[in-house]
Each structure stands twice: as structure tokens, then as C-alpha cells.
């Protein structure tokens, strides 16, 4: 999955480029690193590395969670079949008028 690193607060284009140079090119890649693994590979303080990794983990968790509360239904109440049926009926009515 290709999730642009610059979507994370604190990662600008320059830092994203530096991360790509050490083979961290997605938010997922960053989230899978341990801060100590990055020491010496990139010029960031340990505190900054922990913060960026934490932001990546949070981003992934939030993006994978359902945005719809569990008690609510996701459906609008119309199935694709009923929507198509409505369109056919509307087209049929228009054709009758012509």
C-alpha cells in the first residue's frame, strides 16, 4: 500500500525524501520500525523518531477503524437493484411522454 509519508504531521517533502533513502517510503513502513533501528540511519533525535513512528501507528489504526458506529447500518436503504429499477421506471415514464 502506498500511503504518502507527508500525510503525517511533522513530515515534509525533505524528510520524506530522507526516509525513502533508507527504504521507508510509506506510512506502513515507518510504523513497522523501532526508533532504535533508525538511530544512525537518519539525522533525527530519538524523541522525534518515536513521535513520528507513533503518529504513523495512530494514522494506520484510525484509517483501518470503521467510521460508522457499530449500531448503525452502512446502507442507504437502497440496493443496487432497487436503484436500477427506479432508473428504469423513470426512463420508461419519459419514453411514454415522447
Structural domains in the chain (count)? 1
Cα Rg for the chain, rounded, in angstroms?
24
Q: What is the pLDDT of residue 11?
A: 94
Q: Does some domain include residue 13?
A: yes
Q: Give the mean pLDDT of 20-45.
A: 92
Q: Does some domain include residue 14?
A: yes
Q: Does some domain include residue 38?
A: yes
At which residue does the C-alpha cell 419519459 appear? 94
Whether 15 shows a pLDDT value over 90: the answer reads: yes
Q: What is the pLDDT of residue 79?
A: 52
The pTM (predicted TM-score) of the whole model is 0.63
Domain containing 57 equals 5-64
Per-residue pLDDT reduced to its tens digit, 38-91: 888 988 999 999 999 999 999 999 887 655 566 655 555 555 556 566 666 666
Per-residue pLDDT reduced to its tens digit, 89-98: 666 655 565 5
Q: Does some domain include residue 37?
A: yes
Q: What is the CATH number of the domain that holds 39?
A: 1.10.150.20
Q: Does some domain include residue 45?
A: yes
**Cell reading at 66:** 470503521
Amino acid at each position: 500500500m502506498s500511503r504518502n509519508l507527508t500525510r503525517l504531521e511533522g513530515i515534509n517533502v525533505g524528510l520524506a525524501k530522507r526516509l525513502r533513502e533508507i527504504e521507508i517510503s510509506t506510512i506502513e513502513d515507518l510504523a513497522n520500525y523501532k526508533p532504535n533501528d533508525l538511530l544512525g540511519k537518519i539525522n533525527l533525535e530519538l524523541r522525534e523518531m518515536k513521535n513520528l513512528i507513533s503518529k504513523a501507528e495512530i494514522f494506520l489504526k484510525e484509517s483501518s477503524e470503521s467510521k460508522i458506529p457499530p449500531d448503525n447500518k452502512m446502507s442507504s436503504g437502497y440496493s443496487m437493484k432497487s436503484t436500477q429499477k427506479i432508473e428504469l421506471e423513470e426512463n420508461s415514464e419519459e419514453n411514454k411522454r415522447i
